Amino acid sequence: MPHHIGLIVEYNPFHNGHLYHLREAAKALPGSPLICVMSGNWVQRGEPAAFNKWARARMALKGGADLVLELPLAFALQSADRFAFGAVKSLAGTGVVSHLCFGSELGEVAPLQRIAALLAEEPPRFKNLLKGALDGGASYPTALSQACCGYFCDEELAGLIQSPNNILGIEYLKNLLKTGAKITPFTILRRGAGYHSLSLEGSIASASAIRQGLKEGKEGVVERALPPASAALISGEITAGRGPVFPGALDAPLMALLRRATLKELSALPDMEEGLAQRFARIARKAPTLEEFLSQTATKRYTLSRLQRVLCYLLLGISRRDLETFNRCGPRYLRVLGFSPRGREALHAIKKRGRLPLVTRPAKYFRHSRDARGKKMLALDIKGADLYTLLYPDPKNRGGGEDYVRPPLQETQM
């Protein structure tokens, strides 16, 4: 069977660093289709994407991706572990992906695999070290680094967990082990600005810097960090009034929901530990803005990203029971956002070998599928899209139902 390379992405938005990653992945196994599993309209840090999933899928196809599949929102909006689980299961569900390529600050797989194997096994001594760090008030990433350092007696190895792309890479590797996926991983060394850097110097900037530049109206400066096709698509979306979408657009809706919610409703949200619901309610009564609410609620233990994800669960009506169900069953379908001519060939192969159904028309899936969990998962994706459009700058674009009428994108150029 020919090789197919899987990539787990957000492309928020697609920039020159992503282009480099795609090209290096293609060089590793020439002629292999590049299959991306991409977050939809909501991203893992608990925020709306700057541009909608269709625009970002088009950027990916223009950049060299062959097939773009949407990661179900149920996994796109979870912690790194569950995000990785959903994405790895999706790639394995194609039945054709043979390799997983991810970017990392390290550029080597072996040390990351050593940590991943530890996390997959979770021996008692490691679990005790992790629990001790968490009980001491450390955030999960910090606690994880401390536990690894104590377990391996190797500060350099444990330090790898402090880098964002290394962390995601470790989670991908861990979930490859835990799910038994027959997929070979390899990594590409991240180039240019760091993940959190806000510098727009040079041709490769972080997605964070690009979003900040767009927020500040620096479109001309931002263009240097974007492939021409991405810059053109972003310009078109801005002109059409469909972006950029920034988290600030959620200020009034979320503050209203927070003040209206009962303690019982807040306590039923995923990731809501004992005492946190009371903290939410107390601060929401006085905080004048969402930004102020988050700044007062965040602690070492309750990171900003975690709090933002909880707020997204509140907005989208996602309960702890919902996520527990989704996490037990994993992704139930492969939602197709777009494909190239080579991607069309990959789709034919997936139809023959895949373990998950392909969804190109949600209405047809709802009519014919007997999978109640899959229907609920897809309904959440569509709800997320319909709420996302309410955040568009131009009110005339805020109608819902686009997922029912929009077919997958088809990129004609190889």
Model pLDDT for residues 34-50, shown as the tens digit of each residue:
999 999 999 999 999 99
Quote the tokens at residue 175: 């979930």
> Which of helix, strand or coil describes residue 99?
strand
Give, in order, the Cα–Cα distances in Å from 308 to each of 42, 191, 294, 362.
Answer: 11, 28, 8, 28
Contact (CB, 8 A) for 82 and 329: no
More confident residue, 327 or 142: 327
On the question of pLDDT at 193 being above 70, the answer is no
Domain 5-108+187-244+326-410 has CATH 3.40.50: yes
Binned at pLDDT 50, 70 and 90, residue 156 comes out as confident
Query: Average pLDDT, stretch 219-231?
Result: 94
Query: Average pLDDT, stretch 151-156?
Result: 84
Write the burial class of residue 224 (CB in 10 Å: 0-12 exposed, 13-18 middle, 19+ buried). middle
Expressed in angstroms, the distance from the first to the final Cα of the chain is: 21
Give the model confidence (pLDDT) of 121-148 as tens digits: 999 999 999 999 988 888 777 888 889 8
pLDDT at 302: 87
> Which residues, in sequence order, are bridge partners of residue 8?
37
Radius of gyration of the chain (CA): 21
Phi, psi of 15 (to 5 degrees): -125, -175
Query: Average pLDDT, stretch 280-300?
Result: 95
Contact (CB, 8 A) for 255 and 281: no
Binned at pLDDT 50, 70 and 90, residue 159 comes out as confident
On the question of pLDDT at 197 being above 70, the answer is no
pLDDT at 414: 52
Residue closest to 168 by CA, chosen among 330, 19, 21: 21
pLDDT at 174: 97
Query: Average pLDDT, stretch 195-221?
Result: 86
| Euclidean distance between CA atoms 102 and 186, whole angstroms | 7
Give the model confidence (pLDDT) of 48-59 as tens digits: 999 999 999 999
Give percent of the chain with pLDDT exceeding 70: 98
Q: Give the residue carrying structure tokens 């394995």.
A: 92
The domain segmentation of the chain, as residue ranges, is 5-108+187-244+326-410, 247-319
On the question of pLDDT at 283 being above 60, the answer is yes
Q: Give the residue carrying structure tokens 């949600």.
A: 362
Query: Average pLDDT, stretch 371-400?
Result: 98
| Euclidean distance between CA atoms 203 and 30, whole angstroms | 25
Residue closest to 399 by CA, chosen among 387, 407, 411: 387
pLDDT at 196: 58
| Euclidean distance between CA atoms 132 and 135, whole angstroms | 5
Quote the tokens at residue 199: 């510098």
Quote the tokens at residue 23: 């090209």
Quote the tokens at residue 37: 């599993």
Residue closest to 88 by CA, chosen among 169, 206, 192, 187: 169
Binned at pLDDT 50, 70 and 90, residue 413 comes out as low
On the question of pLDDT at 355 being above 90, the answer is yes
Distance of alpha carbon 312 from the chain centroid: 13
On the question of pLDDT at 157 being above 80, the answer is no
Phi-psi region of 95 (alpha: psi -120 to 50; beta: other; left: phi over 0): left
On the question of pLDDT at 90 being above 80, the answer is yes
Contact (CB, 8 A) for 334 and 356: yes
Question: What's the chain's average pLDDT?
Answer: 94
Give percent of the chain with pLDDT exceeding 90: 85
